[in-house]
Amino acid sequence: MTDAPVNRRGRTTGFLLVGLLVALLVAGVGSYYASSSPDGLEWSAEEEGFLDTAEDSAAADSPLADYAVSGVDDGRLSGGLAGVIGVVVTLVLAGGITLLVRRRSGSPADDTADERADAGTPPSPRS
Amino acid sequence: MHVPDGFLDAPTSAATGVLAAGTVALALRKAREELDERTAPLAGLTAAFVFAVQMMNFPVGAGTSGHLMGGALTAVLVGPWTAVLCMTVVLLVQAVLFADGGLTALGTNVTLMGLVAVGVGYGLFRLLVAVLPRNRTGFLTAAGVGAFASVPVAALTFVLLFAAGGVADIPVGTVAATMGGIHVLIGLGEAAITVVVLGAVLAARPDLVHGAAHLRSADALLRRPEAVLPR
């Protein structure tokens, strides 16, 4: 309950790394075993007869289109690589935006809030 | 449920684009309240995680599959405004790099999965958390129900858009029945994945879960007397 802030920060880094590893494994390895049946919308569109109104995306020629890396013939490798690239790009983009948007711990109010959170006391109403 | 280009006409796509852009702009300001030094990295990871799990289509019978949307999961983990940003990044990466979901349909997909799924999932979660027992089971039940409902509601929102601006001339009632029915099944998968992931994060780091703040204060209240007892 009274982890030193440094210790707590170390545990957070460890937790985030485990989460990232899980995401990379799911996208890089697990996705090969995903169902390739049409999804709910595609299936409904087929059933109801409007699937043929779908048009190719302008991004259809992307080297990563349909979660495959063009030029990599092995399906498992191609899909896995595409998944890993997607995870990294998403992490960098979303992580970058949230780091820019977040409150900095420069102001006194924020410092107090962080210390309180680290000490395990109930968070202030803002959270 | 990534809408491709062509299903909806240009005015409808443009309208959802404006709605999505406006909400993202608002979220960029509101998310500041939810993000600090500790939670910002978790938000980035959550988006990456949702991208990964969205690749894992699970079979739902009748030759159909579904995958996690992740709106409710993300909102409960990092807060609803941050979730709007996370889901938008996921959908943007999918549309631009992987041609999953149309480019002109990006606003539609952000509206369905970033706004409706997040709003319904998190709104229902908040509602249920207020009436259910303030413990782990109550928390996970609220999140599971929110996640479940978010999927058919997002699907039916697509049907509304289809009624307003669908390119094909098809009776909306039957589209609603088909879309609603299959997405109730997919919603069960959504609920299961959401509960498993939130259960794991809650066990490891409850202090990082945005939607579990009420559990932390309840915990502290329960633990306080114990602390003064001799071991």
CATH number at residue B80: 1.10.1760.20
pLDDT at A116: 44
For the whole model, what pTM was predicted?
A: 0.89
Tokens 């807060």 correspond to B79
Q: How far is A74 from chain B (nearest CA, A)?
A: 18
* Assigned domain for B2 exists: no
Contact A4/B at CB under 8 A: no
pLDDT at A111: 42
pLDDT at B62: 78
* Assigned domain for B3 exists: no
Residues of chain B scoring pLDDT < 50: 224-228
Per-run averaged pLDDT (10 residues), chain A, 127 residues:
60 93 97 96 96 95 95 95 98 96 65 44 45
Neighbours of B8 (CB within 10 A): 26
Dig out the tokens for B226 from the structure.
């114990």
Count H helices and E strands in chain A, helices first. 4, 0
Contact B108, B122 (CB under 8 A): no
pLDDT at B220: 53
Contact B158, B181 (CB under 8 A): no
pLDDT at B78: 97
- What is the number of structural domains in chain B? 1
* Assigned domain for B5 exists: no
State the best of A48, A100, A107 to mutate against chain B, taking most chain B CBs within 10 Å: A48
ipTM for this model: 0.92
pLDDT at B222: 53
Q: How many CB contacts within 8 angstroms connect chain A with chain B?
A: 256
| Domain, as residue range, for B212 | 10-228
A50–B32 C-beta distance less than 8 A = no
In single-letter form, the type of residue at position A101 comes to V
* Assigned domain for B78 exists: yes
pLDDT in tens, B98-157: 999 999 999 999 999 999 999 999 999 999 999 999 999 999 999 999 999 999 999 999
> Helical H runs in chain B?
10-30, 39-54, 71-78, 80-98, 106-109, 117-131, 136-165, 172-204, 213-228
Q: Tell me the chain A residues in contact with residue B52 when contact means C-beta distances shorter than 8 Å.
A: 22-24, 26-27, 30-31, 83, 86-87
* Assigned domain for B4 exists: no
Per the rule left: phi > 0, alpha: psi between -120 and 50, beta: everything else, A104 is: beta
